[in-house]
Structure 1
Amino acid sequence: MLLNVAGGTLCALILFQLVANVVADDPYRFFNWNVTYGTIYPLGVPQQGILINGQFPGPDIYSVTNDNLIINVFNSLSEPFLISWNGVQQRRNSYEDGVYGTTCPIPPGKNFTYILQVKDQIGSFYYFPSLAFHKAAGGFGGIRILSRPLIPVPFPDPAADYTVLIGDWYKSNHTDLKAILDRGKKLPFPDGILINGRGPNGVSFTVEQGKTYRLRISNIGLQNSLNFRIQGHRMTLVEVEGTHTLQTSYSSLDVHVGQSYSVLVTADQPAQDYYIVVSTRFTAPQVLTTTGVLHYSNSAGRVSGPPPGGPTIQIDFSLNQARSIRTNLTASGPRPNPQGSYHYGLINTTRTIKLVNSAGQINGKQRYAVNSVSFIPADTPLKVADYFNIGGVFRVGSISGNPTGGGMYLDTSVMGADYRAYVEIVFENQEDLIQSWHIAGYNFWVVGMDGGLWTPASRSQYNLRDAVSRCTTQVYPKSWTAIYMALDNVGMWNIRSEFWARQYLGQQFYLRVYTPSTSLRDEYPIPKNALLCGRASGRRTRPL
């Protein structure tokens, strides 16, 4: 059912949904977004971009733990559109995740109202468009979830709080890039790096000498790990994707695709302007670099000379840095799942899932796979088909929980899992390039990572005390990464490569976390305003 923006239907349906699905005492925040095409010049040449309310990047979402976010999105594009919320967990409500496996797209000229609750979350995240390679055109923005006022934060309030969106970029329109992939070819190397949608020295952050500032850094790019640094300044890491971390100081920070970090930076240097530098990692001899400016309000001079260099291909540097990022066990605030349990290393795992990525040709076209299965979308969102018991859309078990060793093939891959299971997932990367993996609907503990092949003996080096909890993790070339995850969020959840060409060409699947219970404590029903498409077209959602 589509909503009438101008009439009272929207308000009535939203109120009904909120009363049914969220805690009525928690505050509401309302957003109205119009998604359009517009001409942008991020690298100095005109190209077609995706704007939200005329902005590129889109507006930030500001919220507080447990807020209800009512986001009405009107699609003024000429094609279907979806927005996904990277890291916002959608507790018991995968229908709102904004990927095609769970949600029907918003048709051109129509709107859809997302009803989200940032339940038991804090931290730095972002949103992005998930269909048709739209991510290469914009439509993304920052999400910040602040702690409730009475919950202490383990550092003083900063003088200001800045969103910093970094990512690789192409001068070509997203439609041209999509056409390359649709022809079964690989994308070329990107043309540049953007900071908040702008190229070299296009963005500036003003600071006052002696004060401390928070930067929320997200890599919203398509394929490249990036190194972030500020000339003459050190950064203190304080939060990673909703987890307060040990406050470790870094001169530069690797931010892999899909990841978000919060750092504190003190303006403790002589009053002048300093370079902010972002450069690609593991791409030498080709290295892309862009710059911004940290501007002191009483600056005595502009930036000059070459920007400071950073690491390029050194994997050991990045691996050791990743291992140094650990949870601050003394910090207050929402905890990773299961709620109230901090001793993740003392819980016995019930299952080990091993996921191996691969690349190759299928029917003469470039494809990417997980455990040999290259995902193809169904004609109906999987979660919607599951709700209406529509057969023939997908098959649970169409992807194995372990690599098969066989050749790549196409399927709509769905892995089954039991509600409240506690699983170990091993990502094994046998390729020569770094990988980045995201699991929707969950945070997980990154307990270990190392080079070579994973074996059960690798568990001896796991961090079972203060590993960082996050939703996106990197896997280094010819290496493995292991995570622990409590499956306490019922639904259909996307596990995907954050390398967007790989995701588009099959390196993803869905984890169906199932319980026979129909209690609202376990999973919310399909939203009353849910769009229905494919084989679900014309059906009606059941009344509550």
Structure 2
Amino acid sequence: MNHIRSLASSELYLCTCLLMLIIGRGCSQVLYDWTVSYSQRAPLGVDKQVIAINDIFPGPVLYASTNDVVNVNIHNNLTEPFLMTWNGIQMRKNSWQDGVQETNCPILPGQNWTYSFQLKDQIGSFFYFPSLLLHKAAGGYGAIHVNNVPDVPIPFPQPYKDYAVLIGDWYNVDYRDLRASLENEVFLPPPDGILINGLGPNQARFEFEPGETYRLRISNVGLKTSLNFRIQEHLMLLVETEGSYLVQQYYGSLDIHVGQSYSVLVTAKNQFDGKSYYMVASSRFTILEQSGIAIIHYPDSAGDPVGPLPLGPYLSDYNFSVEQARSMRWNLTSSAARPNPQGSYHYGNISITRTLILENNLMFTGTKRRFTINGVSFMHPDTPLKLLEYFQLNDVFEYYDIIHDRPTATLPSSYTFVIDALYRDFFHIVFQNPLLEVQTWHIDGYNFFVVGMGWGLWDESKKAGYNMVDAVSRSTIQVYPLSWTAIVMELDNLGMWNLRSQYAENWYLGQELYLRVKSALGDDQSAISTGDEAPIPANVIKCGRAANL
């Protein structure tokens, strides 16, 4: 057993890959070498220092397939420490590679580090982005496409082409100035505009061939703005979100909240009329509407589109957004990462281990403004929690589970707090939003089932209306103003996992916590029964109190 625990991560992955190849499940090594650097761009006509990857903004698409081992060597050519996180990727029992502040020491300027992780049983559309120091406000993001293994067919005809579409709000102000504003108690202002694939209005272009079907993988990579996505005179067939195939339905427009990803199929027009068409991503629930605009060209297009943009829902129409979210259903008969149908997992029959009602809010401590979960704002210790745990520097864990399972009337506070859970626990989490703006929440390392949402405060009676049969499984969910959203999830991924607000401002100012998922058995038995968590990487970066250990 000690021999197994001492193997390097790459050796363990190789053993796992060999087993998967023997049983026909596929597995290969995917290698990327990325240099992260500054680059001068002007997406909205104002010159700005952006973060590019291999001098590309947005960064290159990361392509992989189910069960692949992904290796990304990142060279940090910035002047600040850097981390990359993988939004929605369920790396197999390996939070060492998660790329957030409490699982990884940062890559220092002038240095490089290789992320190496195996994908869990997973397919779908996701994205990566920098997780430290508000770097996301300067870019550094890109799409992730996880494809099916050959023996698991996709539940629709193979598209002619597959396009990544990254939409998000954009600030002309330098990210360091935005960061300083947050630290000086100034809220982020409205953005200066909306980008599509890193480009301003009418700059991003997509080529369509008449009669062909295209898969658009759309991700909202912005900081705080919900967006409505639509294409002039083209319907969108929604087929997948964040690793789950959906019951296929046509939509004229889609609300996509911060951190969310969707796949749609769009069939190109078959007639030759010389037209081109607008693709639009417009802000939702804002005082003034802002729009990102791209162009769809056909071979016979005579020029850019003319006339008004296609209309979306009313700017403040929350009911439209809620009803659209409720209309989405998990495709029970389709296979996803495995040959068996998605509906073979009967999540509604699993007993709840623990219920958490997590309420987002705002607090002031003297002159400092912080965002909270159940009255607690997360404070980062001097050493990542993952290293503190590994080297048994456990004094910081005196505050584990300090957070209450429900909102209380106690005074808000700031702590380093961790929720302890056991492998295979089944959590019921209600995100409750008492504020007047939409919130979005994300949990690293997992998908969860979105079983209900409604207005007002949550209470036990709301369980009667839960969807416990075909709720959508995903990793990022919105919570509307003065409302709640309920999820259920099986904790089947050992490690230290980040639960956070996807709003960059809220996350930066403390609206996050960590789930520490541990084996219920002793060390020797857990390695056999659960495969154990991945060992500390041979190339681990050590910092803080662990720097010389």
Instruction: Encode CA deviations 1:195-234: one digit per residue, 9 max, x unaligned.
Output: 0000101101000111110000000000011000000111
8 Å CA contact 1:273–1:294 kept in 2: the answer is yes
| CA distance in 1 between partners of 2:420 and 2:516 (Å) | 5
Match of 1:370 in 2: 373
Q: Compute the displacement of 1:17 (Å).
A: 6.2
Secondary structure in structure 1 of the residue aligned to 2:394 = coil
Farther off after superposition, 271-280 or 244-253? 271-280
2:484 counterpart residue number: 480
- Normalised to the residue count of structure 2, the TM-score between the two structures is 0.93
Match for residue 321 of structure 2? 318
1:458 aligns with 2:462: yes
Please state how far the C-alpha of 1:79 moved relative to its aligned partner. 1.1
Measured in 2, the distance between the counterparts of 1:224 and 1:181 equals 17
The residue type equivalent to 2:492 in the other structure is: D
Q: Deviations over 1:125-168 (max 9, x none)?
A: 00000000000011100000000112111100001000000000
Q: 1:208–1:298: 8 Å Cα contact kept in structure 2? A: no
Aligned to 1:309: 311
1:140 aligned partner? 141
The one-letter code matched in structure 1 to 2:36 is V
Residues 131 and 472 of structure 1: CA distance in aligned 2, closer, same or farther (over 3 Å): same
**Structure 1 partner of 2:515:** 511
The one-letter amino acid of 2:461's match is A
Q: 1:402 to 1:293 in 2, by over 3 A?
A: same
* CA deviation profile, 1:290-319 (whole Å, cap 9, x unmatched): 210111122244301221121211111000
Across the two proteins, how many residue pairs are aligned to each other?
527
- Tell me the CA shift for residue 341 of structure 1: 4.8
Equivalent in 349, 356, 360 of residue 359 of structure 2: 356
**What is the RMSD computed on CA atoms of the aligned residues?**
1.9
> After superposition, where does 1:54-73 map in structure 2 within 5 Å?
54-73=55-74
Tell me the secondary structure at the aligned position of residue 72 of structure 2.
Answer: strand
Provide the rounded CA distance (Å) in 2 between the counterparts of 1:375 and 1:29: 35
Aligned mates of 1:142, 1:472 — CA distance in 2: 16
Q: Could you say which residue in structure 2 is the equivalent of 1:6? A: none
Name 2:210's counterpart in structure 1.
209
Secondary structure at 1:69 match in 2: strand
SS in 2 for 1:177: helix
Distance in 1 between residues matched to 2:409 and 2:476, nearest whole Å:
26
Indicate which of 540, 544, 549 corresponds to 1:530.
540
Contact 1:379 1:393 in 2 (8 A): no
Partner of 1:3: none
Contact 1:351 1:423 in 2 (8 A): yes
**By how many angstroms is 1:13 displaced?**
7.3
Alignment partner of 1:436 is 2:446:
no
1:253-332 correspondence to structure 2 within 5 Å: 253-268=254-269, 270-271=271-272, 272-283=275-286, 285-311=287-313, 312-332=315-335
Q: 1:8 matched to which residue of 2?
A: none
Q: Is the 8 A contact 2:343 2:470 kept in 1?
A: no
Question: For residue 7 of structure 1, what is the aligned residue in structure 2?
Answer: none
Residue range with higher mean Cα deviation, 245-254 or 522-531: 522-531
| Partner SS for 2:106 | coil
Partner of residue 78, structure 1: 79
What is the identity percentage for the equivalent residue pairs of Structure 1 and Structure 2? Answer: 52
- The 8 Å contact of residues 169 and 195 in structure 2, kept in 1 or not, is answered as yes
Q: Using the TM superposition, give the Cα deviation of residue 423 of structure 1 relative to its aligned residue in structure 2, in angstroms.
A: 1.2
Distance 2:285 2:480 in 1: 10
For residue 5 of structure 1, what is the aligned residue in structure 2?
Answer: none
| Cα distance change of structure 1 residues 517 and 32 upon mapping to structure 2, 3 Å threshold | farther
* CA distance in structure 1 between the aligned counterparts of 2:406 and 2:293, rounded to whole angstroms: 43
CA distance 1:387–1:341, shift in 2 (3 Å): farther
Superposition map of 1:71-110 within 5 A = 71-110=72-111
Taking a change above 3 Å as real, the CA distance of residues 234 and 207 of structure 1, as seen in their structure-2 partners, is same
Report the CA distance between 1:287 and its aligned residue: 1.2
Q: 1:244 to 1:338 in 2, by over 3 A?
A: closer
Whole-Å separation in 2 of the counterparts to 1:231 and 1:410:
48
1:333 aligns with 2:336: yes
Letter of the aligned partner of 1:128 in structure 2? F
Deviation at 1:360, TM superposition (A): 2.7
Counterparts in 2 of 1:447 and 1:390: CA distance versus 1, 3 Å: same
**Following the alignment from structure 1 to structure 2, what is the Cα–Cα distance between the partners of residues 308 and 446?**
30
Equivalent residue in structure 1 for 2:395, among 392, 396, 420 = 392
**What residue identity is the alignment partner of 1:530?**
V
Q: CA deviation at 1:40?
A: 1.3
Cα displacement (A) at 1:484: 0.6
Asked if structure 1 preserves the Cα contact closer than 8 Å seen for 2:72 and 2:114, the reply is yes
Alpha carbons 1:186, 1:366 under 8 Å: kept: no
CA offsets per residue over residues 339-386 of structure 1, 9 Å max, x none? 995211121212111100001322212211001011111111111111
The residue number in structure 2 matching 1:114 is 115
Q: Flag the 1:324–1:17 CA change in 2: closer, same or farther, 3 A.
A: same
Q: SS at the partner of 2:478?
A: strand
Instruction: Work out the CA distance in 1 between the residues paired with 2:303 and 2:335.
Output: 41
Matched, 1:449 2:453: yes
Secondary structure class of the residue paired with 2:229: strand
Q: 2:52 maps to which residue?
A: 51
Query: Does the alignment pair 1:343 with 2:346?
Result: yes
2:474 to 470, 473, 486: 470
Shift of 1:22: 5.6
Alpha-carbon distance in structure 1 between the residues aligned to 2:338 and 2:451: 16
- In the TM superposition, what is the alpha-carbon distance from 1:335 to its structure 2 partner? 6.5
Equivalent pair of 2:433/2:483 in contact (CA under 8 Å): yes
Give TM-score scaled by structure 1 length: 0.94
Q: Secondary structure at the match of 1:392?
A: helix
- Residues 348, 48 of structure 1: CA spacing in aligned structure 2 closer, same or farther, 3 A cutoff? same
Amino acid at match of 1:296: Y
> Secondary structure at the residue paired with 1:245?
strand
CA 1:322/1:339 → structure 2, altered by over 3 Å: closer, same or farther? closer
C-alpha distance in 1, partners of 2:114/2:535? 16
Equivalent-residue separation in structure 1 for 2:181 and 2:15 (angstroms): 45
5+ residue gaps, structure 2: 1-6, 22-26
In structure 2, how many angstroms separate the alpha carbons of the residues matched to 1:280 and 1:354? 29
Superposed CA deviations along residues 368-425 of structure 1, whole A, max 9, x for unmatched, are 1001011111111111111111132333112222212223211112111122111110
| CA apart distance, 1:55 | 0.6
Residues of 2 paired with 1:152 and 1:237: CA distance?
17
The aligned counterpart of 2:230 is 229
Change beyond 3 A, Cα 1:444–1:143: same
- 2: CA distance between counterparts of 1:15 and 1:514? 22
Residue 465 of structure 1 aligns with an amino acid whose one-letter code is V
Q: Please, which runs of 5 or more residues in structure 1 have no aligned partner?
A: 1-11, 540-544
| Aligned residue type for 2:439 | Q
Secondary structure at 1:348 match in 2? coil
Deviation digits for residues 75-134 of structure 1, max 9, x if unmatched? Answer: 111111000000101121111000011111111111111001122110000000000000
Q: Distance in 1 between matches of 2:396 and 2:256?
A: 37
SS of 1:248 mapped into structure 2: strand
